[in-house]
Amino acid sequence: MKFLDQAKIYVKSGNGGDGAVAFRREKYIEFGGPDGGDGGRGGDIIFEAVDNLNTLIDFRYTQHFRAKKGQNGSGANKTGANAENICIKVPIGTQIFAEDKETLLADLNQKGKKIVLCRGGDGGFGNTRFKSSTNRAPRHADKGWPGEERWVWLRLKLIADVGLVGLPNAGKSTFLSVASAARPKIADYPFTTLHPQLGMVRLSPTEEFVLTDIPGLIEGAHEGNGLGDRFLGHVERCSMLLHLIDATADDVVNNWKIIRNELESYQTELANKREVIGLNKTDLLTPEEILQKQKELEQASGHKVFLLSGATHNGVKEILFYLQNYITKYKQDIILKSKHFSPI
């Protein structure tokens, strides 16, 4: 299945049914009068977040969604049937933007969350509605109200606990394959990862978290260099970032600064997330070189730097348990805050 995280679609709710002009004509019933029924309501356009989808690829082939018109009214004061709603299922984490790609209309970030984006038009009144003391036989009925229509952009932001960031060839895909059951493409050239990858990390039957790997960033990614910073949106919802740095690089501090600058240029909130630094590929260096580069990174970042190797699995368990402990505490804090929250 191909990965698609952006799509533009057209949606239109149904028009309301027309009201009817009719009169009651039955034998032995005098002065039957008007009995035209109202029109039915047009169908709504509804979006729903479901957990069995992780891409917007379906919207590449189906881009127009139109709900049906409500049924027209009829004689004997019969109201027309309402049209069926159209429910568009999208992955959890999908955001709906207006055509300008800036106005956020909805954020479907929870399973089962629904939003009525376009409401169907109301049905028109039949001529019974217009009967009065001065107009005993109205020959007028309303047309149904038109539905709503618009072009919208769908943008998917994956829901994960930890986001993997780093320069190309930092070993992110290898780390993801070692830490989880995911099987991303791994090769000895840059940009082997062309779209985000998700992996479930299970350290025990009761402890697990979701890890996402995005395509590598390079200097100037926020200006469109390389694959750009488009995929950074997939780590916006993460509770923390795991920054992997290639230990074989000549200047590991500069490589760390490059990614930090790209994060800050993209979004300040993203740059302020909890960052865990991992010095990867340590199996290719001598102990003296490893300690020297670890010391340089810790002085520049002010944080502890974990030593690990995705190839030999050294240090992988240690950093995964550290991530799990932080995520567990992070989720507990959110639950406590929600319990103590009282709206004014």
What whole-number distance in Å separates Cα of residue 74 and Cα of residue 19?
7
70 exposed, middle or buried (CB, 10 Å; 0-12, 13-18, 19+)? buried
- To the question of whether residue 172 is assigned a binding role by annotation, the answer is yes
- To the question of whether residue 37 is assigned a binding role by annotation, the answer is no
Phi, psi of 91 (to 5 degrees): -65, 150
Of these ranges, 121-125, 162-166, 245-249, the one predicted with the greatest mean pLDDT is: 121-125
For residue range 21-58, what is the model confidence (pLDDT) as tens digits?
Answer: 999 888 777 778 899 999 999 999 999 999 888 788 88
Per-residue pLDDT at 80 exceeds 90: yes
- To the question of whether residue 281 is assigned a binding role by annotation, the answer is yes
- To the question of whether residue 209 is assigned a binding role by annotation, the answer is no
- To the question of whether residue 166 is assigned a binding role by annotation, the answer is yes
Per-residue pLDDT at 303 exceeds 50: yes
For the residues of 3-28, what is the DSSP string, one character each? ---EEEEEEEPPPPPPP---B---TT
- To the question of whether residue 190 is assigned a binding role by annotation, the answer is no
Residues of the chain above pLDDT 70, percent: 88
**In contact, 107 and 1? CB cutoff 8 Å:** no
Of these ranges, 17-21, 212-216, 313-317, the one predicted with the greatest mean pLDDT is: 17-21
Sign of CA dihedral 267, 270, 276, 280: negative
| 317 three-state secondary structure | helix
| Confidence grade of residue 226 (pLDDT, cut at 50, 70, 90) | low
Residue whose entry in the numeric block shows the structure tokens 């001529």: 127
134-148, 164-178, 299-313: range with lowest mean pLDDT: 164-178
- To the question of whether residue 45 is assigned a binding role by annotation, the answer is no
What whole-number distance in Å separates Cα of residue 258 and Cα of residue 132?
77
Tell me what pLDDT residue 188 has: 53
Please give the CATH topology (third level) of the domain spanning 162-340.
Rossmann fold (3.40.50)
**In contact, 128 and 74? CB cutoff 8 Å:** no
- To the question of whether residue 109 is assigned a binding role by annotation, the answer is no
- To the question of whether residue 195 is assigned a binding role by annotation, the answer is yes
What are 220's two structure tokens? 């100037």
Per-residue pLDDT at 337 exceeds 70: no
Tell me what pLDDT residue 221 has: 57
152-161, 180-189, 190-199, 285-294: range with lowest mean pLDDT: 180-189
For residue range 83-104, what is the model confidence (pLDDT) as tens digits?
Answer: 999 999 998 889 999 999 889 9
Tell me what pLDDT residue 69 has: 96
What whole-number distance in Å separates Cα of residue 344 and Cα of residue 327?
30
| Confidence grade of residue 235 (pLDDT, cut at 50, 70, 90) | confident
Q: Which residues, 6 or more positions from 275, have their beta carbon under 8 angstroms from its beta carbon?
A: 240, 241, 243, 301, 303
Average pLDDT over the chain reads 85
- To the question of whether residue 124 is assigned a binding role by annotation, the answer is no
Q: Which residues, 6 or more positions from 326, have their beta carbon under 8 angstroms from its beta carbon?
A: 239, 240, 274, 276
- Output b/e per residue, 249-284; b: 16+ Cβ within 10 A: beebeebbebbbbbbebbeeebbeeebbbbbbbbbe
Phi, psi of 96 (to 5 degrees): -110, 120
Domain boundaries, the chain: 1-156, 162-340
Per-residue pLDDT at 1 exceeds 70: no
Tell me what pLDDT residue 193 has: 56
Question: For residue 168, how many other CB atoms are within 10 A of its CB?
Answer: 17
What whole-number distance in Å separates Cα of residue 60 and Cα of residue 96?
16
- To the question of whether residue 62 is assigned a binding role by annotation, the answer is no
Per-residue pLDDT at 228 exceeds 80: no
What whole-number distance in Å separates Cα of residue 203 and Cα of residue 201?
6
Per-residue pLDDT at 343 exceeds 70: no
Tell me what pLDDT residue 342 has: 46
From the candidate CATH numbers 1.10.10.10, 3.40.140.10, 1.10.1530.10, 2.70.210.12, the one assigned to the domain spanning 1-156: 2.70.210.12
What whole-number distance in Å separates Cα of residue 311 and Cα of residue 334?
35
Question: For residue 185, how many other CB atoms are within 10 A of its CB?
Answer: 10
- To the question of whether residue 254 is assigned a binding role by annotation, the answer is no
Bridge partners (DSSP) of residue 97 are 104, 153
- To the question of whether residue 169 is assigned a binding role by annotation, the answer is yes
- To the question of whether residue 168 is assigned a binding role by annotation, the answer is yes
53 exposed, middle or buried (CB, 10 Å; 0-12, 13-18, 19+)? middle
- To the question of whether residue 215 is assigned a binding role by annotation, the answer is yes
Per-residue pLDDT at 334 exceeds 70: no
Which amino acid, 329? Answer: K
Higher pLDDT, 284 or 344: 284
Per-residue pLDDT at 239 exceeds 80: yes
* pTM beyond 0.75: no
- To the question of whether residue 196 is assigned a binding role by annotation, the answer is no
